Chain A
């Protein structure tokens, strides 16, 4: 299991734009962490440090206590898999199954192992029946699920999801929630960037709020969406999920269940 640590990480792009400043973050195996923040707050830059796609200009990134500075991305990809936001920036194969098998094959798995991993990953995202389809015949939401499957099949200990719910309907979001839960149950780590506060509140046990390249808040959804944290959320143009706002008004706390919300609303109406 991979223990991730960022120690005093800063990052400045070649054009001089500072994206990260003094980020200290530790993620233990099996954690389910959401990273939220306004556009340009450094979320994507942060996750790209985890597998060496970007290297910190200050500080260091550790995998199990080992500085990854000298380790190639191709080697780090065996531990950290990233599902990017736009599926069309990844898909290249003419067949869904081939696309999913690509990662495991690149990592050195045998053809049989890759096929088995692809079958399991496609089942996890509900694309089993489309295994022989051309990826470009699928709609956007399914292409996103395909890219998720292609990283799941790699069996990495850490799975990073960049805006996984974009373009998904309620059924797609529910499926992604089940996938996240399944990964966590297997003791693997999930880190997701998201602007979908409801998805974050319902799915993740830890929320990191970023603003201007720094970690502003880091805690459970109950801590981060508590009324006392709202000004900090507002400073990075985030709104707590509706349930948290209604829950606060009704005295149910920042993460009420839907049942308790309905009961309280019925009671409030008299």
Chain B
């Protein structure tokens, strides 16, 4: 994964994003595992809670797994154009409806972030204090969330109507005017990775690793 990220030129960004994403879960995992996991070797105690070597070991394993999952998802998102991915799935026989739902979901995230930013500006310009006390921030939840949700629903409706007006639900085979560039070495690498995945899973199930 590191080699692939390095090759794609996103290693630094990938590590930063993955650390940021796993940090909130990591903190709770460490606290819960270290202090509540039963073990015989006590490192230190805080009140009634004992920090054990077994707890530290379990927390470390969990963190590594979390980080690996985060790296995988991050690498995929940073190096794959969502539209290209979904179009290629459609070319391989996935239903256009499923493909649309997938691409709409992926593309909705940046659109929602942009929308939320403008809505935040709009409500702050009306005096909504988003930098003040917890009470003031709670007061701002509805004015901030309401337009985001309503806008997102409206967008989905408009997009569906626009698609229908272009014969989206027409039955029959589609002709994609675009093809994913797929070089020979990429196909070999893909099959090799799938084989590696199957072998790893088999070895894990059989207890060899």
Residue positions of A touching B, CB distance < 8 A: 48, 51, 53, 72-74, 77-78, 80-82, 84, 86, 88-93, 102-103, 106-107, 136, 150-151, 154
Contacts and interface: CB of A to CB of B under 8 A. Distances in A.
Given A89-B115, A89-B118, A51 B131 contact: no
Contacts of B118: 84, 86, 89
A53 B150 contact: no
Contacts of A93: 146
30 contacts: A51-B125, A53-B121, A73-B131, A74-B130, A74-B131, A74-B136, A77-B124, A77-B125, A77-B127, A78-B127, A80-B125, A81-B125, A86-B118, A89-B118, A89-B119, A89-B122, A89-B147, A89-B151, A90-B119, A91-B150, A92-B144, A93-B146, A102-B126, A103-B126, A106-B126, A106-B128, A107-B127, A151-B125, A151-B126, A154-B127
Contacts of A74: 124, 127-132, 136
Nearest to B122: A90
B179 interface: no
Contacts of A103: 126-127
Given A84-B118, A88-B154, A89-B118, A106 B127 contact: yes
Nearest to B145: A92
A72 B121 contact: no
Contacts of B132: 72, 74
Interface residues on B, range: 20 to 34
* Max chain A Cβ within 10 angstroms of own Cβ: one of B123, B126, B128: B126
The list of the 6 closest CB pairs from A to B, nearest first, reads A92-B146, A74-B129, A77-B127, A106-B127, A82-B125, A90-B122
* Max chain B Cβ within 10 angstroms of own Cβ: one of A81, A89, A136: A89
Contacts of A84: 118, 121-122, 125
B143 interface: yes
* Max chain A Cβ within 10 angstroms of own Cβ: one of B125, B142, B150: B125
* Max chain B Cβ within 10 angstroms of own Cβ: one of A51, A74, A86: A74
A154 B124 CA distance: 13
Contacts of B142: 92
A94 to B, nearest CB: 9
Contacts of A106: 126-129
* Max chain A Cβ within 10 angstroms of own Cβ: one of B122, B123, B124, B146: B122
Contacts of A150: 126
Nearest to A47: B125
* Max chain A Cβ within 10 angstroms of own Cβ: one of B127, B142, B146, B151: B127
A72 B129 CA distance: 8
Given A72-B129, A89-B118, A106-B128, 14 more contacts: A51-B125, A72-B132, A73-B124, A77-B125, A78-B127, A84-B122, A90-B147, A91-B147, A92-B143, A92-B150, A106-B126, A107-B127, A150-B126, A151-B126
A77 B147 contact: no
* Max chain B Cβ within 10 angstroms of own Cβ: one of A48, A84, A154: A84
Nearest to B131: A72
Contact of B143 (A77, A80, A102, A136): A102
A92 B146 CA distance: 5
Interface in B66-112: none
Contacts of B115: 89
A186 B122 CA distance: 25
A103 B124 CA distance: 10
Contacts of A82: 122, 125
Nearest to B143: A92
A136 B115 CA distance: 18
Contacts of B122: 82, 84, 89-90
B125 A73 contact: yes
A89 B111 CA distance: 13
Contacts of B143: 92, 102
Contacts of B147: 88-92
Given A77-B127, A106-B127, A88 B150 contact: yes
A252 to B, nearest CB: 40
Contact of A53 (B119, B125, B144, B154): B125
A89 B150 CA distance: 10
B113 to A, nearest CB: 13
A154 B146 contact: no
